[in-house]
Amino acid sequence: MDARDGSVRVQVVYATPECQRLYEVRVPRGATVRTAIAESGVLEHFRGVDINDYALGIYGERVDASAVVSEGDRIEIYRPLIADPRESRRRRAARRAGR
């Protein structure tokens, strides 16, 4: 597939604490985020990733898996947080205050 046949080029990115992966893929015009992720191969490389449980975004803006992708989109798969950022800040502030 190429741009002449109505496809679009997108990137799919996923990162763990150990590594970051970027996949470039061409999908038919009108394809969804879900389709682009499936076509990228990221789910085969990272077997524990279930996009039904993970947040998704395009350039940092949250989107649903059914969102239609456009040429040049960067689809991001966000891992679940292991700690509440607000609670982590409170603990750090409390430690600093207790010095």
| The CATH fold of domain 3-97 | Ubiquitin-like (UB roll) (3.10.20)
For residue 47, what pLDDT is reported? 85
Given a cut of 80, is residue 17 above it in pLDDT? yes
- CA distances in angstroms from 62 to 17, 18, 54, 67, 74, listed in the order given: 21, 24, 11, 10, 12
H or E segment at 88? helix 85-97
Q: For residue 95, name the pLDDT band (cuts at 50, 70, 90).
A: confident
63 beta partners: 56
Instruction: Report the relative pairing of strands 20-28 and 55-58 from DSSP bridges.
Output: unpaired
For residue 37, what pLDDT is reported? 97
- CA distances in angstroms from 24 to 1, 13, 72, 93, 98, listed in the order given: 13, 9, 10, 41, 49
